[in-house]
C-alpha cells in the first residue's frame, strides 16, 4: 500500500481528483488531495511547498507526490523538505535550477501550445472544454466544469527556482499524448534532460484524472507499488 499525495494545478480545485481517488483505493492505495492557497499570489514556491508538506501524512515515508500541470514547480521543493517515495509529474512543468518558470518559457516557447497561452479556462466554459476536458464523456465534462478554480501563483512563476541541487528522489513523468496545454514534445524532452527518465505516455488530454481515472490509477500504482 502506498500513499499518493495529489496536487492540483492552477485551474482546478482539489475536487478535480475525486474520480481518481476511489480508483486508487480499489487498487489498495490511500490518497490525499491537497488544497493549495489561491489568494496569495505573492507567495513563493517554497511557501506553496510548505503547505503541501504540512498536509502529508506524518506517519508515512511511503508518500508518492503527484503534481499536475503548473504545480510541478513545487514538487522538487517538497522533496527537498521531507523524504518522499517518488515525485510524479503529471503533464506538468519541471523546474530548472537557477531559472524561473518565465525564464524557461522564454528560452523554450514550445513548452506550451501557442493557442493556450493567455487563456483562462476558469471563467469560460468553451475554453475549458477545448483545452482541458475535450476528451471527457459529456456527463463527466459537465461535472469537471464545477471543479475549476484559478490559482495565480504569480511570485512562484517569476522567481528563480530556489533549489541549489536537485533532490535525490526517484522521479517520473507522465505525458498525455493529446495534451492541448503543455506540449507533449517538450514534456518528452524535458523528462529525459531534467529527470533522466523516459516518460510514460497515456492517451488523452491534459486532465487524465478526469477523463480516464482508472487508467491513470493503474499507471500510478505501477510507479509506486
What does the pLDDT look like over 56-67, one tens digit per residue?
987 667 899 999
Query: Does the pLDDT at position 55 exceed 70?
Result: yes
Q: What is the pLDDT of residue 1?
A: 78
What is the pLDDT at residue 149? 97
* Confidence (pLDDT) at 136: 97
Strand order in the sheet with 200-202: 30-34, 3-7, 63-68, 86-90, 171-176, 200-202
> What are the Cα distances from residue 171, in Å, to 39, 151, 165, 192?
30, 25, 15, 11
The mean predicted confidence, pLDDT, of the chain is 95
pLDDT at 215: 98
Q: With cut-offs at 50, 70 and 90, classify the pLDDT of residue 85.
A: very high
| Residue 157 exposure: Cα atoms within 13 Å on the Cβ side | 12
Q: What is the pLDDT of residue 41?
A: 87
Class assignment of domain 3-223?
A: alpha beta
What is the mean predicted confidence (pLDDT) over 32-50?
93
pLDDT at 60: 65
User: Cβ(194)–Cβ(172) under 8 Å?
Assistant: no
Torsion on CA atoms 117, 176, 56, 17, rounded to nearest 10: 90
Q: Tens digits of per-residue pLDDT, 175-218? A: 999 999 999 999 999 999 999 999 999 999 999 999 999 999 99
Interior/surface letters 131-152, b for 16+ CB within 10 angstroms, e for the rest? bbbbbbeeebbebbbebbbebe
- Residue-range domain boundaries for the chain: 3-223
pLDDT digits (tens, 9 = 90+) for 127-172: 999 999 999 999 999 999 999 999 999 999 999 999 999 999 999 9
Amino acid at each position: 500500500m502506498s500513499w499518493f499525495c495529489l496536487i492540483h494545478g492552477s485551474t482546478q480545485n482539489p475536487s478535480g481528483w475525486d474520480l481518481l481517488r476511489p480508483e486508487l483505493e480499489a487498487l489498495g492505495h490511500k490518497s490525499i488531495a491537497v488544497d493549495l492557497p489561491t489568494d496569495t499570489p505573492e507567495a513563493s514556491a517554497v511557501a506553496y511547498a510548505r503547505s503541501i508538506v504540512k498536509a502529508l501524512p506524518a506517519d508515512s515515508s511511503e508518500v508518492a507526490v503527484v503534481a499536475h500541470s503548473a504545480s510541478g514547480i513545487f514538487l522538487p521543493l517538497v522533496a527537498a523538505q521531507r523524504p518522499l517515495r517518488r515525485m510524479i509529474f503529471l503533464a506538468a512543468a519541471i523546474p530548472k535550477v537557477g531559472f524561473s518558470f518565465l525564464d524557461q518559457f522564454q528560452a523554450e516557447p514550445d513548452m506550451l501550445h501557442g493557442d493556450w497561452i493567455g487563456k483562462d479556462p476558469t471563467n469560460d466554459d468553451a475554453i475549458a472544454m477545448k483545452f482541458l476536458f475535450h476528451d471527457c464523456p459529456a456527463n463527466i465534462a459537465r461535472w469537471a466544469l464545477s471543479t475549476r478554480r484559478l490559482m495565480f501563483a504569480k511570485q512562484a512563476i517569476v522567481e528563480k527556482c530556489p533549489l541549489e541541487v536537485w533532490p535525490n528522489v526517484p522521479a517520473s513523468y507522465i505525458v498525455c499524448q493529446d495534451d492541448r496545454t503543455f506540449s507533449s514534445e517538450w514534456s518528452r524532452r524535458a523528462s529525459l534532460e531534467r529527470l533522466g527518465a523516459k516518460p510514460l505516455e497515456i492517451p488523452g488530454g491534459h486532465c487524465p484524472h478526469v477523463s480516464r481515472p482508472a487508467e491513470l490509477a493503474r499507471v500510478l500504482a505501477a510507479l509506486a507499488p
